[in-house]
Chains A and B, each alone.
Chain A
Amino acid sequence: MGKLVASAVLDAALQYLEDNVDWIAVCEGAPTTYEHAHSNKGTGAGKVLAHSVTPTFTGPAAGDGGGTSRKTTVDQEPTITVDITGDADHVALVKTGTTVLLYVTTCTLQTLTAANTVTIPAWDIEIGSPT
């Protein structure tokens, strides 16, 4: 039996991110809770090395996977001040109003130094077609 999902269904999920994400954090270690992605490393269970409150998105648009896949682009987040020195290996998207961790991805490990800056280049979140 063939499987199908309308683009509008996937777009709603991607649009949810755009409408709700108000905090993007660079973390040391995988954040699995709101606190991990919202508190600085060294404060409670925090894992945040740098953060920005200006995340923006472009999309949703057709995904790279073909079919009805859809994607949204998290726009570049340039020159964020590093708060805590550490090894960055994850990026998290958060909604602070309701204290929810919404999305986490990985990045190639890079050592960050406090008071320097870090740039998160534009990256995609894609939802594939059903198979």
Chain B
Amino acid sequence: MDPKEKARRKLEKAMRQPVNDVVLEVQKGTIDINDLFKKIDEKVREAQDGKARS
């Protein structure tokens, strides 16, 4: 991300005012690399199938 855009976003965030603010509890997103490789394989196969059909 462009550093200027990042700074702009951070400034905008800092200027907000809370109203009965609720703080969420977000669960960490962990990606299993093995699943990732399987997904890449699936996407490659889908792309190849698409090319074969066209």
> Residues of A contacting B14 with CB < 8 Å?
78
Residue B50 interfacial (CB < 8 Å): no
Q: Are A18 and B1 in contact (CB under 8 A)?
A: yes
CB distance from B14 to the nearest CB of A (A): 8
Q: Are B32 and A117 in contact (CB under 8 A)?
A: no
Report which of A5, A54, A106, A113 forms a contact with B13, defined as CB distance below 8 A.
A54
| Known A55-B9, A56-B10: A118·B24 in contact at CB below 8 Å | yes
| Known A57-B1, A77-B13, A131-B34: A88·B29 in contact at CB below 8 Å | no
- CA–CA, A87 and B26, complex, Å: 14
> Residues of A contacting B10 with CB < 8 Å?
54, 56, 75
| Known A54-B9, A55-B9: A126·B30 in contact at CB below 8 Å | yes
A-contact 0/1 string along B21-54, CB 8 Å cutoff: 1111111111111101100000000000000000
- CA–CA, A57 and B10, complex, Å: 10
Closest 6 CB pairs of A and B: A54-B9, A108-B25, A79-B16, A123-B26, A116-B20, A105-B29
Interface residues of B (CB under 8 A from A): 1, 6, 9-10, 12-14, 16-34, 36-37
